[in-house]
């Protein structure tokens, strides 16, 4: 059987929290922040904070480096058209044994030695996809063959050739594709750099106004402690005059302690807000700004911009960096489509060549006569006659083969009339185009939501500020009235302290509404894509 549930009033064995703690008498800790020299105060405007963030922020520096890397990528892609010069020189000596009297050797081996040197210049034309090549060969050959008319001999050759695609590769090729994509990637990184700059400016504005709120809220809490202490002294005088009971002094003392706790909570908020802003503007962790006390100098803007939803959307569609990134993706896809269409064409090249051949050397004075001085066909016939005679003289040995007639040149048996791979690549690029188009529509819809929310945020913050200011004015009047009633014996200390707490909260609400309005304005600038223009920021790469 399951055990019975414990009764609701059963005491749980939870240990007490610091049962023996007693607050020690003495002054409260001073209002200072860790690692901050309160004597070193630094005035900081919004524009200066934005400039420091754009100069020192690590995200911005990474974006700058990405742009510079894209510039080098483009430079490297254009380097494919640089002419290339190659040269090769070597010495070679060969000794070939021979078994035929036609070898031109009287010692059973032909020895040949020489210096060989080849040089070439080749490259690609930046237009029409052509390629050129120039080769120069210069050799020195020495041989002991009896058939050599020149010994040593110096053969040289100079050859020019140019290959021009007629169909595939003439209008667009792989090299031009890579260059165009590198250009678009440079535009893409530039758009990403601008987007990162806009995000940094918005983050600086938020952190700046958060620090303004934290510092002013700290002052509000300190003023509340001051007013509570004044009320405490006033209550003590009334107790001494017999107009209040001593317990009313205890209530005022509890009010002072409560406001003092709020002071240190507000001090903690100041430290967090200040560190967040310093993290955006400091160059590194050793920067002097970390030890300074930042004092914002810009006052809150209580007049929100008057802009309609239509104008805001037009500005967003024109200025948002995300849309520029989408445009670059579409342009890269168009490059891929163009290349895929070009690759689907058949490969037909026009090749033009021109060569010069020279030969120099010293006459061979060995006295031997070369019997093989006929044309190639007559020479082949003479060799075959000699071969037949040798075969007749050696009937018991395998016959020597005759030299065959040279084969006729023919085209290959298969000519591909379709390029399935290129057609598939073209189809994929077309699908990618539709995907980019769909993502663009989705992005524009998200931007519309972003703009609508930002406009609503501005209008709501403006209304909240108006209401908070009215509530603060009413709380001031109620607190002053309740104090007068207490002095005339028509109110209680409880009501006076309650009005005092309400006044402190109303001042804090008004301050928060002012800060939220300025953060809403910064958010609207980001949503409409004109944060750079509104803050007069011009981006340049260092």
Q: For 41-73+176-340+423-534, CATH number?
A: 1.20.1600.10
Decide: pTM greater than 0.75: no
**Average pLDDT of the chain?**
82
pLDDT > 60? residue 426: yes
Q: For residue 186, which of 269, 276, 63 has the smallest C-alpha distance? A: 63
> How do residues 32-50 score in pLDDT, each as one tens digit?
788 888 888 889 998 899 9
Residue labelled with tokens 């590198």: 182
HSE toward the beta carbon, residue 443, CA cutoff 13 A: 16
- Which helix (H) or strand (E) is 396 found in, with range? none
Which residue's structure tokens are 């579409």?
Answer: 330
Q: What is the DSSP letter of 103?
A: G
Kindly state the average pLDDT of the residues 340-350: 84
Query: Could you tell me the CA-to-CA distances from 300 to 133, 189, 205, 513 in Å, in that order?
Result: 70, 35, 11, 10
Q: With beta carbons less than 8 A apart as the criterion, state whether 119 and 86 touch.
A: yes
Percent of the chain with pLDDT over 70: 85
**Mean pLDDT lowest among 53-67, 411-425, 525-539:** 411-425
Q: What is the pLDDT of residue 312?
A: 87
Residues 230-246 have a mean pLDDT of 84
Distances in Å between the alpha carbon of 399 and those of 65, 299, 381? 77, 111, 17
- What is the tens place of the pLDDT at every residue in 375-406? 556 666 777 776 777 677 777 677 777 767 66
Residue 354 has pLDDT above 80, yes or no: yes
Q: How far is CA 94 from CA 118, 141, 311, in A?
A: 19, 11, 86
The answer to whether 274 and 294 are in contact (CB under 8 A) is: yes
Supply 134's token pair. Answer: 């120039």
How far, in Å, are 132, 169, 353 from residue 166 at the CA level? 15, 8, 16
pLDDT bin (cut points 50, 70, 90) of residue 371 is low
pLDDT tens for each residue of 107-148: 678 888 889 999 999 998 888 888 989 999 988 888 887 777
Whole-angstrom distance, CA of residue 438 vs CA of residue 134: 51
> How far is CA 338 from each of CA 127, 418, 435, 439, rounded to the nearest angstrom?
16, 18, 17, 21
Task: Let me know how long the chain is.
Answer: 542
Q: Is the peptide bond before 52 cis (omega within 30 degrees of 0)?
A: no
pLDDT of 153 reads 86
- What's the pLDDT band for 276 if we cut at 50, 70, 90? very high
Residue 78, pLDDT score: 86
Residue 513: exposure state from Cβ atoms within 10 A (0-12, 13-18, ≥19): buried
Q: Report the candidate in 318, 314, 325, 312 with the shortest Cα–Cα distance to residue 194.
A: 325
Q: Is the CB of residue 180 less than 8 Å from the CB of residue 335?
A: yes
What digits encode the pLDDT tens for the residues 314-344? Answer: 888 888 888 888 888 888 888 888 888 888 8
Tokens of 359: 């030969």
Block residue for tokens 């080098």: 72
Pairing of strands 150-165, 131-143: antiparallel
Domain residue extents for the chain? 41-73+176-340+423-534
Per the listing, tokens 């569609």 go with 317
**Model confidence band, residue 100 (pLDDT cutoffs 50, 70, 90):** low
Q: Taking residues 450-477, report their average pLDDT.
A: 90
Task: Evaluate the omega torsion of the peptide bond into residue 152 and state whether it is cis, within 30 degrees of 0.
Answer: yes
Crossing angle of helices 321-343 and 420-487, rounded to 10°: 170
Give the Å distances, CA to CA, from 39 to 177, 183, 269, 270: 61, 52, 20, 16
**What is the model's pLDDT at position 136?**
92
Angle separating helix axes 309-319 and 420-487, nearest 10 degrees = 130
CB atoms under 10 Å from CB of 529, counted, come to 25
pLDDT of res. 175: 85
Q: What is the pLDDT of residue 108?
A: 73
Q: What's the order of all strands across the beta sheet hosting 84-97?
A: 84-97, 109-124, 131-143, 150-165, 349-363
Give the CA count within 13 Å in the CB-facing half-sphere of 467: 8
Higher pLDDT, 166 or 415: 166
């Amino acid at each position: 059987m399951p055990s019975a549930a414990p009764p609701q009033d059963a005491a749980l064995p939870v240990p007490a929290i610091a049962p023996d703690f007693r607050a020690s008498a003495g002054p409260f800790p001073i209002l200072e922040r860790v690692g901050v020299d309160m004597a070193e105060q630094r005035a900081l405007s919004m524009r200066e904070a934005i400039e420091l963030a754009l100069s020192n922020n690590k995200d911005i520096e990474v974006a700058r480096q990405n742009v510079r890397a894209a510039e080098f990528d483009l430079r490297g892609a254009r380097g494919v058209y640089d002419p290339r010069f190659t040269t090769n020189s070597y010495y070679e000596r060969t000794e070939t044994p021979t078994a035929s009297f036609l070898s031109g050797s009287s010692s059973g081996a032909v020895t040949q030695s020489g210096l060989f040197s080849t040089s070439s210049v080749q490259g690609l034309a930046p237009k029409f996809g052509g390629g050129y090549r120039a080769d120069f060969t210069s050799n020195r050959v020495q041989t002991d063959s009896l058939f050599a008319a020149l010994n040593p001999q110096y053969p040289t050759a100079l050859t020019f050739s140019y290959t021009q695609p007629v169909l595939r590769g003439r209008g667009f090729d792989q090299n031009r594709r890579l260059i165009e994509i590198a250009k678009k990637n440079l535009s893409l990184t530039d758009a990403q750099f601008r987007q990162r700059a806009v995000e940094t400016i918005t983050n600086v504005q938020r952190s700046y106004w958060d620090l303004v709120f934290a510092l002013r809220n700290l002052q509000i809490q300190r003023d509340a402690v001051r007013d509570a202490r004044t009320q405490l002294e006033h209550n003590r005088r009334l107790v001494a005059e017999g107009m209040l009971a001593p317990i009313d002094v205890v209530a005022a003392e509890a009010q002072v302690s409560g406001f003092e706790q709020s002071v240190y909570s507000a001090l903690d908020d100041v430290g967090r807000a200040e560190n967040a802003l310093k993290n955006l503007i400091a160059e590194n962790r050793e920067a002097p700004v970390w030890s300074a006390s930042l004092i914002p100098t810009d006052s809150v803007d209580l007049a929100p911009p008057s802009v309609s939803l239509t104008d805001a959307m037009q500005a967003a569609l024109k200025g948002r960096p995300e849309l520029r990134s989408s445009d670059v993706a579409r342009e890269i896809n168009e490059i891929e489509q163009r290349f895929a269409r070009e690759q689907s064409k058949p490969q037909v090249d026009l090749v033009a060549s021109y060569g010069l051949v020279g030969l120099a050397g010293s006459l061979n004075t060995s006295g031997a006569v070369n019997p093989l001085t006929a044309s190639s066909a007559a020479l082949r016939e003479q060799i075959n006659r000699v071969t037949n005679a040798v075969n007749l003289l050696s009937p018991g040995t395998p016959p020597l083969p005759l030299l065959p007639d040279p084969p006729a040149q023919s085209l290959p048996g298969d000519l591909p009339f379709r390029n399935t791979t290129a057609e598939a690549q073209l189809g994929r690029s077309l699908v990618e185009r539709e995907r980019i188009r769909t993502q663009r529509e989705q992005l524009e819809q998200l931007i519309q939501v972003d703009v609508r929310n930002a406009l609503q945020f501005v209008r709501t913050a403006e209304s909240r500020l108006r209401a908070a200011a009215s509530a603060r004015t009413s709380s001031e009047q109620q607190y002053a009235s309740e104090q007068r009633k207490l002095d005339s014996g028509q109110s209680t200390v409880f009501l006076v302290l309650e009005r005092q707490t309400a006044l402190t909260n109303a001042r804090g609400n008004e301050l928060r509404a002012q800060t939220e309005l300025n953060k809403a304005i910064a958010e609207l600038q980001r949503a409409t894509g004109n944060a750079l223009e509104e803050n007069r920021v011009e981006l340049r790469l260092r």
